[in-house]
Amino acid sequence: MKKQNLIDTILDFMASDNAGDSKGIYHPEIVKQHLNNVFNQAVYNTWLNGKKFSDFSQLDAWSKTYVCSVLNQCGARAYCLLPFAPVQLPDMMGIRQIRSHYECSVYYGTAIGDQWVFAPIEATANVIFDELEVSTMDDYPTYRLEQSNVNVGAGEKSHMLWLEKLPVAPEPLITSVDILLITGPENLDDYDELSMPSGAEDSLVQQVISLMSKKPLPDTSNDSVIERR
Quick: pLDDT tens for 142-160: 898 888 766 555 556 788 8
> Are both 120 and 98 inside the same structural domain?
yes
3-state secondary structure of 138: coil
Residue-number span of the structural domain to which 88 is assigned:
64-181
> Are both 139 and 207 inside the same structural domain?
no
> Are both 130 and 153 inside the same structural domain?
yes
What stretches of 155-202 adopt beta strand conformation (E)? 159-164, 176-181
> Are both 164 and 194 inside the same structural domain?
no
> Are both 51 and 124 inside the same structural domain?
no
User: Which residues are CB-contacts of 67 (< 8 A; sequence separation ≥ 6)?
Assistant: 101, 176, 177, 178, 179
Residue 15 lies in a domain: yes
Total-model pTM: 0.78
> How many domains does the chain contain in total?
2
Residue 222 lies in a domain: no
The answer to which of 45-59, 82-96, 120-134, 191-205 has the lowest mean pLDDT is 120-134
User: If you average pLDDT over residues 3-30, what whole number do you get?
Assistant: 90
> Are both 3 and 76 inside the same structural domain?
no
> Are both 79 and 7 inside the same structural domain?
no
Instruction: For residue 210, give the amino acid letter.
Output: S
What stretches of the chain adopt beta strand conformation (E)? 64-69, 71-74, 77-81, 95-100, 107-108, 111-112, 119-120, 142-147, 159-164, 176-181
Residue 9 lies in a domain: yes
Taking CA 76 as the corner, what is the angle to CA 81 and CA 162, rounded to the nearest 5 degrees? 25
Question: How far from the centroid of its chain's Cα atoms is residue 133's Cα?
Answer: 33
> Are both 111 and 25 inside the same structural domain?
no
> Are both 75 and 174 inside the same structural domain?
yes
> Are both 82 and 170 inside the same structural domain?
yes
- Residue-wise pLDDT for 66-123, tens only, equals 999 999 999 889 999 998 889 999 888 999 999 988 655 444 444 444 578 898 887 6
> Are both 173 and 196 inside the same structural domain?
no
> Are both 37 and 146 inside the same structural domain?
no
Distance CA 98, CA 67 (A): 10
Question: How far from the centroid of its chain's Cα atoms is residue 146's Cα?
Answer: 14
